[in-house]
Structure 1
């Protein structure tokens, strides 16, 4: 029986380690625990009205719950490793009441203390195997904390880049609406090419940091879900220009938008339709209407 408990413990620890690696460090950030937690939080907070700012807490709350899930599973995994060796594999402090000991509680307690690197020393490993894995859990706890901080530091720059693209589109749209006599040829081609580059960078961010999809931007002008449709309008106008440079720039924007919407559809939306349908679905999923 102890070998089965040990195997289960190792499997749980391995699941957490794999998920942290694939979520944070793999070139394509596809974990198993993190996406499911983010989707669950996204689904739960959709029950709030669209004008409630709490709906914009999906991303931060999801990140916190993912880290919590990693910690809980890791604690349980190591506790199972300790439980298989209880009580003979450990030395207990003389101050502990033998009548108050409980193998399951002691295993969870030791796991929590160790992963938090507290090290009270009231329960001490006595066998070579345990003297090896207990410090490893402390190292894992430090790694998990570092990974959580690194994840946050990676996600928010990606969100900043996405919001900048949305604001660029919103600003350009409003500027042209204020000056309706300015056609697409009045827009410098380098503005369009830089826009295409920025959209491709956003696509790469969604590939590497899929959790960023579940951050809802409440401000309409800063929401790519709301503003992306204007990129297709710009591209369509540019591809109809009499100037080859403008047509090429428009084609670049079109290709970038199609690449982005293809990723969004495959990874998050799962819709049957063209680029326009995916853009509408993306906007609706984030409680916006294409502008």
Structure 2
């Protein structure tokens, strides 16, 4: 997936090609899993063909004892098709074949679990980006944030950021999925979140100052995870988020913090 991500901007238009890196990477990984399992078990069957296998009527055993036939048996068993035209006949092979079928079932379950884990993580990431976009486009002023509602807003963003940080730790491959729309692109919105936290630290309301401090720490933790796992800039949050946006083909834009009495719009 790292290789596909690295190649994506070199294959043409960045956004279009990068959007395929994550899904294509998952398909490649699953295909590699299945192929490795099928070839491995086929290499176990091959030395014992045709003596330890029974063949359906019309098949000449000596003509169906090559590596492709062993791979065919392995794929049929792995997919739990059970065609039965070539089947193990010796005692230990008859036990081994069902074990491969169990491996195939585990492989299918792992693939489904992986997909069901990745896409909710992506949805949470995009939901946070959209929420930040809503705040930015709503024209929230520094005065409006200096209130109980502002503290609650900052706390909600902190909670969502903590979840995203855990998602990047548990589902690192989710980094290689591209978000094309700027309003649902977390790399595009993080600079605004950083400015929001910095601005709110100067609020008069003590709860807002506390919430802003926690939000800033959550952003710093996210920057550490992004930098250690993917970017390796060795810089602070500002530079890490800039590198994150650049790596995803997202312009930084005028997404600074809200100003006193200003609209906060970009």
**TM-score (normalizing by structure 2):** 0.89
What is the CA–CA distance in structure 2 between the aligned matches of 1:141 and 1:203, rounded to whole Å? 33
Encode CA deviations 1:149-172: one digit per residue, 9 max, x unaligned.
222111111111100110111111
Instruction: Give the one of 14, 18, 26 matched to 1:63.
Output: 26
Secondary structure class of the residue paired with 1:124: strand
Whether the 8 Å CA contact 1:184–1:234 is kept in 2: the answer is no
Given that 1:89 and 1:126 are in contact with CA atoms closer than 8 Å, whether structure 2 keeps it comes out as yes
Partner of 2:134: 171
* CA distances 1:55-85 after superposition (whole Å, capped 9, x unpaired): 2122111111111111111111111111233
Look up the SS of the partner of 1:84 in the other structure.
helix
Map of 1:198 onto structure 2: 160
1:204-263: per-residue Cα shift (whole Å, max 9, x none)?
Answer: 111111111111000011000111111111110111222211111011111111111111
> What residue is the counterpart of 1:34 in the other structure?
none
**Structure 2 alignment gaps of length 5 or more:** 256-266
2:6 is aligned to 43
Cα gap change, 1:134 to 1:181, in 2 (>3 Å): closer
Normalised to the residue count of structure 1, the TM-score between the two structures is: 0.81
Q: Does the 8 A contact of 2:15 with 2:249 survive in 1?
A: no
For these two proteins, the number of residue pairs brought into alignment is: 252
Q: Is 2:121 the counterpart of 1:158? A: yes
Larger mean CA deviation between 184-193 and 258-267 belongs to 184-193
CA shift digits 1:21-66 (9 cap, x unpaired) = xxxxxxxxxxxxxxxxx11221222224446534212211111111
Q: Distance in 2 between matches of 1:278 and 1:60?
A: 25
Counterpart of 2:234 in 1: which secondary structure?
Answer: coil
**CA distance in 1 between partners of 2:157 and 2:10 (Å):** 34
Partners of 1:275 and 1:233 lie apart in 2 by 11
How far the C-alpha of 1:89 sits from its partner, in A, is 2.3
Q: 1 or 2 for the larger relative contact order (CA 8 Å, sep ≥6)?
A: 2
Residue by residue, what CA displacement relative to the aligned partner does 1:163-209 show, whole Å, maximum 9, x if unpaired?
01101111111112xx6574541562011011000000001111111
Q: Which runs of 5+ in 1 are unaligned?
A: 1-37
Q: 2:146 aligns with which of 149, 160, 185?
A: 185
Larger radius of gyration: 2
